[in-house]
Amino acid sequence: SAERRPLVAGNWKMNGLKASTAEIGAIAAGYNAALAGKIDLLLCPPATVLAQAATLADGRILVGGQDCHAKASGAHTGDISAEMLADAGAKAVIVGHSERRADHHESDADVRAKAEAAWRAGLVAVICVGESEAQRRAGEHGAVVAAQVRGSVPDGATSSNTVVAYEPIWAIGTGLVPTPADVAEVHGIVRSVLAERFGAAAGGMRILYGGSVKPENAKALLGAADVDGALVGGASLKAADFLAIARTY
């Protein structure tokens, strides 16, 4: 849609040492005028290299965190607040990734609180939703994703503070991808749930597809209706692959 500028976001997960941040420099260097005229790029490395990544990104591309605590500071050993991410140079943070929902038992309410924390710190919240393989097989994907959007997106979401990422769990890191029609179906559901809550503003909110996006399949997936970009895991680790996905726009 003309009113939604596409966003291609990378999620390095628990991968990346100082040396790997050279890839971020390469992505920033490859984000030329042609790409900048069309899309935004965001790369979310581990928090340990976020400040270094922000320096290398040089304001050309955005960098972000992969999770944040709901509180700004306090007695929460090992956790990282949205304010800390912002201080390190983040402009966005992924919240509610399915790996966090599974590994750290994060509920929709937890994710909603984290999204609010992101806004408090001035970050864009990239809120992830997506059904399991069993839910897809049972035909429950639409209802599951609608409920996650209702529960995880806080009141106050706008097209500038919120991005929703639809990531079917069975497609993440598996090489399996839904058909473009399947993607369009769920994105349409997400858009209509957002419209129930936020009215016309929902038309400006970006909804990303994530799950085994590669240079080879990006054009078909990103061309589906209501898809405003990608959240890329594995293929974001190499600048050449990430840029190849971006260049499908």
Q: Which residues are annotated as a binding site for substrate?
A: 11-13, 173, 212, 233-234
Among 39, 54, 93, 172, the residue binding ligand PEP under the rule CB under 6 A is 172
Name residues contacting ligand PEP, limited to 189-248 (CB under 6 A). 210-213, 231-235
Catalytic residue selected from 116, 131, 167, 187:
167
**Contact criterion met (CB below 8 Å) for 121 and 83:** yes
185 is catalytic: no
**Contact criterion met (CB below 8 Å) for 26 and 249:** no
Annotated binding site: 11-13, 173, 212, 233-234
Gap between the Cα atoms of 67 and 162, Å rounded: 14
CA distances from 5 to 134, 189, 243 (A): 33, 20, 17
Among 59, 122, 156, 173, the residue binding ligand PEP under the rule CB under 6 A is 173
Is 11 one of the binding residues for ligand PEP (CB under 6 A)? Answer: yes
Gap between the Cα atoms of 128 and 148, Å rounded: 9
Is 96 one of the binding residues for ligand PEP (CB under 6 A)? Answer: no
104 is catalytic: no
Residue keyed to tokens 């042609």: 34
- DSSP annotation of 91 reads S
Nearer to ligand PEP, 83 or 110 (CB): 110
Gap between the Cα atoms of 73 and 84, Å rounded: 9
CA distances from 220 to 4, 114, 245 (A): 18, 32, 11
> Quick one: tokens of 129?
């939703």
Nearer to ligand PEP, 121 or 221 (CB): 221
Shortest Cβ 234–ligand PEP spacing (Å): 3
Name residues contacting ligand PEP, limited to 109-168 (CB under 6 A). 167
> Quick one: tokens of 166?
């639809």
Shortest Cβ 168–ligand PEP spacing (Å): 9
Position with the least CB separation from ligand PEP? 233
Shortest Cβ 214–ligand PEP spacing (Å): 8
> Quick one: tokens of 46?
């581990």
Shortest Cβ 80–ligand PEP spacing (Å): 18
Nearer to ligand PEP, 106 or 167 (CB): 167
Q: Residue 246 CB: number of other CB atoms within 10 A?
A: 27
Catalytically active residues are 97, 167
Binding region for ligand PEP (CB under 6 A): 11, 13, 167, 172-173, 210-213, 231-235
